[in-house]
Amino acid sequence: MKGATDSYARTFFGVAALANFSVAFGLLLLRPQVTPLLRLDPIAGSNLAFFHLAATLIAIFGYAYLRVALDPRRFRPFIGLGAIGKVLTVATATWHWLAGDLS
């Protein structure tokens, strides 16, 4: 049964890594096309810094998922960190949405 679980984890986290890398590189390389779709205004200053920080953190999640995909047993602790990061991201965005800071 461990082989089937490892195979599932490799596939699942491989797809997650690919998705995260795609979003991160899309944000960085296709900024003029992506920012209007996301209603972002990263022209300069702190907006641009936060935009790049978000892309970097998304890429880091992708790297962690890639490590899990390559060796699910060794990098199993990364799964918990990824889940915590995603939950905190949703909670933060929800908080700002409820406060009226985001549309």
Residue 38's pLDDT band (boundaries 50, 70, 90)?
Answer: confident
Tell me which residue range forms the domain holding 54.
2-98
- What is the overall mean pLDDT for the chain? 87
- Say if 71 falls within a structural domain: yes
Contacts of 49 (CB under 8 A, 6+ apart): none
pLDDT above 60: residue 93: yes
Asked whether residue 103 is assigned to any structural domain, the reply reads no
| pTM metric for this prediction | 0.80
Q: Higher pLDDT residue, 75 or 42?
A: 75
pLDDT beyond 50 at 81: yes
How far does CA 47 lie from the centroid of its chain? Answer: 18
What is the rounded CA–CA span in Å between residue 48 and residue 54? Answer: 10
Answer yes or no: is 76 within a domain. yes
Encode pLDDT of 15-31 as tens digits: 999 999 999 999 889 88
Q: Do residues 55 and 27 touch, judged by C-beta distance below 8 A?
A: yes
Query: By 3-state DSSP, what share of the chain in percent is helix, strand and coil, each rounded to 5?
Result: 80, 0, 20
The mean per-residue pLDDT over the stretch 89-96 comes to 92
Residue 51 lies in a domain: yes
**Residue 43 pLDDT:** 67
The rounded percent of the chain whose pLDDT value lies above 70 is 92
HSE of 77, CA atoms in CB hemisphere, 13 A: 1
> Count of domains in the chain?
1
